[in-house]
Amino acid sequence: MNHFQYKGTELFAENVAVKDIVAKVGSPVYIYSHATLERHFKAFDNAFNGVAHTICYSVKANSTQSVLKTFINLGGGVDIVSGGELYRALKAGVDPHKVVYSGVGKKNDEIEYALNTGILMFNVESEQELTRISEIASRMGKKAGIAIRVNPDVDPGTHPYITTGLKNAKFGITIDRAMEEYKRAATLPGIEVIGIDMHIGSQLTKVTPFVDSIEKLKIMIGKLKDLGINLQYFDCGGGLGIQYNEEEPPLPADYGKEIVAATKDLGMHLVFEPGRNIVGNAGILTATTLFTKERDDKNFIMIDAGMNDLARPALYGSFHGVQPVVKDQDGMIVADIVGPICESGDFLVKDREVPMFKQGDLMAFMSAGAYGFAMSSSYNSRPRVAEVMVKGEKFEVIREREKVEDLVRGETVASFL
């Protein structure tokens, strides 16, 4: 459920008409519903009532400060993949002991920053990374809490670009090699082995791959215990999907029931890294129709938002529902909705039946809260759009629209030119 609903013929974000937001802020604009963010976080968190757990929101899905602050206020932590994401989370007030650091390419200065911050643990993704963390922590006189991200080689049945748990993925350490790395980690200076981690992919619509992966890791946990390596944290990762179109992902409560049953005998503190599942349907991107064109029985609707604003359709062929902000169109039409970027791949909708938008009409791309603004760019020297958060009858700009002056900030013309 989300809080973007029609009242009569007008689309509302909670109790604010979307057209009123655009009238004040301009177009295109990302709009987030605070009530939806809060509802989705609580639904996921409540799925694990009675079990020791921490919800570490996956910052990469949407790193906007107000979004982070919403989850932090509800007791959440964060899963980060860069020093920049750590900085954002700390600015938003996260408890450092609720921070887990994932990612295959942690730089020295990022490791040092995380150690000085006092994060809970690094999710180690390679043998060389483990050695590097040990060296840096030892030099700094600190202990780095670590979990090894174990690649369980389970097919999650999702898009190849967001599948991360197969043996040929760049992520994690293979399940065959992980035992040896745990043994080595236990002997390394500056390292405290405290957990185990898995993350098998994104936009999963079944619980079975999660459970299958947990069962594989439980065998490893038992073997480690026999060696005197007692783990405290089981990071189950993220990846639970949402409904973009006709998908039927499990509810967090159903997912929680299965995960709790699979881990109940371990006596470990569970960590989860949901991202898309709690922000995806909490945001929309609104855009304005600029022109329409018909060519060889092909219809095009040109809008003021492009692949630089919402990359997922061009990158993954992803589906985003399209709804009119005001329902006054004359029927439906099969069309491509395209942006102003000089690329043939600049489309947000391809060969789909949509309302017959006319010049000046506003449209909303649904389920755009995850990997929308976070993946946007200034390609074609287009300033990035504004972001707005709605709460009840109020709304605020939480990120100003970039100006053309921002496009050259930090640039200089070489002195020899």
Other beta carbons less than 10 A from residue 250's beta carbon: 18
Give pLDDT, residue 205.
84
pLDDT reading at 39 higher than 50 = yes
* One-letter amino acid for residue 343 of the chain: E
| pLDDT, tens only, 233-280 | 999 999 888 889 888 888 999 999 999 999 999 999 999 999 999 999
Give pLDDT, residue 1.
73
Sheet holding 16-17, edge to edge: 4-7, 10-13, 16-17
User: Cα separation of 208 and 211, whole Å?
Assistant: 5
Give pLDDT, residue 197.
95
User: Cα separation of 203 and 250, whole Å?
Assistant: 11
Q: Which two tokens stand for residue 71?
A: 């989850």
Count Cβ neighbours within 10 Å for each residue of 165-201 and write b for 16 or more, e otherwise. Answer: bbeebebbbebeebbebbeebeebebbbbbbbbbbbb
Helix, strand, or coil (residue 322): strand
pLDDT, mean of residues 164-169: 52
pLDDT reading at 123 higher than 50 = yes
pLDDT reading at 384 higher than 60 = yes
pLDDT reading at 295 higher than 90 = no
Confidence category of residue 169, pLDDT binned at 50, 70, 90: low
Give pLDDT, residue 152.
84
pLDDT reading at 175 higher than 90 = no
Tell me if 312 is assigned to a ligand binding site.
yes
Give pLDDT, residue 247.
83
User: Cα separation of 181 and 184, whole Å?
Assistant: 5
Give pLDDT, residue 200.
84
**Nearest-5° Cα angle at 54, 32 to 75:** 50
Confidence category of residue 161, pLDDT binned at 50, 70, 90: very low
Tell me if 316 is assigned to a ligand binding site.
yes
**Chain mean pLDDT for the chain:** 94
| pLDDT, tens only, 326-353 | 999 999 999 999 999 999 999 999 999 9
pLDDT, mean of residues 312-338: 96
Helix, strand, or coil (residue 165): coil
| pLDDT, tens only, 391-414 | 999 999 999 999 999 999 999 999
Residue 272's φ and ψ, nearest 5 degrees, are -125, 150
Which has more pLDDT, 37 or 205?
A: 37
Alpha-carbon radius of gyration of the chain? 23
Tell me if 255 is assigned to a ligand binding site.
no
pLDDT, mean of residues 164-171: 57
Give pLDDT, residue 142.
98
Q: Which of 1, 246, 342, 413 is catalytic?
A: 342
Q: Are 304 and 27 in contact (CB under 8 A)?
A: yes
Tell me if 409 is assigned to a ligand binding site.
no
Give pLDDT, residue 378.
97
* One-letter amino acid for residue 60 of the chain: K
Q: Which two tokens stand for residue 203?
A: 């936009």
User: Cα separation of 234 and 162, whole Å?
Assistant: 22
User: Cα separation of 80 and 91, whole Å?
Assistant: 14
Residues in the chain: 417
Confidence category of residue 154, pLDDT binned at 50, 70, 90: confident
Q: Which fold has domain 34-276?
A: TIM Barrel (3.20.20)
Confidence category of residue 166, pLDDT binned at 50, 70, 90: very low
56 labelled catalytic: no
Give pLDDT, residue 155.
61
CA atoms within 13 A on the CB side of 277: 29
Closest of 389, 370, 353, 374 to residue 243, by C-alpha: 370
Give pLDDT, residue 157.
54
Tell me if 276 is assigned to a ligand binding site.
yes
Q: Where are the domains of the chain?
A: 4-32+280-408, 34-276
pLDDT reading at 165 higher than 50 = no
| pLDDT, tens only, 79-114 | 999 999 999 999 999 999 999 999 999 999 999 999
Class of the CATH-defined domain 4-32+280-408 = mainly beta
pLDDT, mean of residues 139-165: 74
Residue 201, strand partner residues: 163
CA atoms within 13 A on the CB side of 188: 28
pLDDT reading at 167 higher than 80 = no
Tell me if 275 is assigned to a ligand binding site.
yes
| pLDDT, tens only, 24-37 | 999 999 999 999 99
Count Cβ neighbours within 10 Å for each residue of 292-311 and write b for 16 or more, e otherwise. Answer: beeeeeebebbbbbbbbbbb
Give pLDDT, residue 163.
45
Tell me if 189 is assigned to a ligand binding site.
no
42 exposure class (CB count in 10 Å sphere: 0-12, 13-18, 19+) = middle
Q: What's the 3-state SS for 251-308?
A: CHHHHHHHHHHHHCCCCCEEEECCCHHHHHHHEEEEEEEEEEEEECCEEEEEECCCCC
Q: Which two tokens stand for residue 123?
A: 């999710």
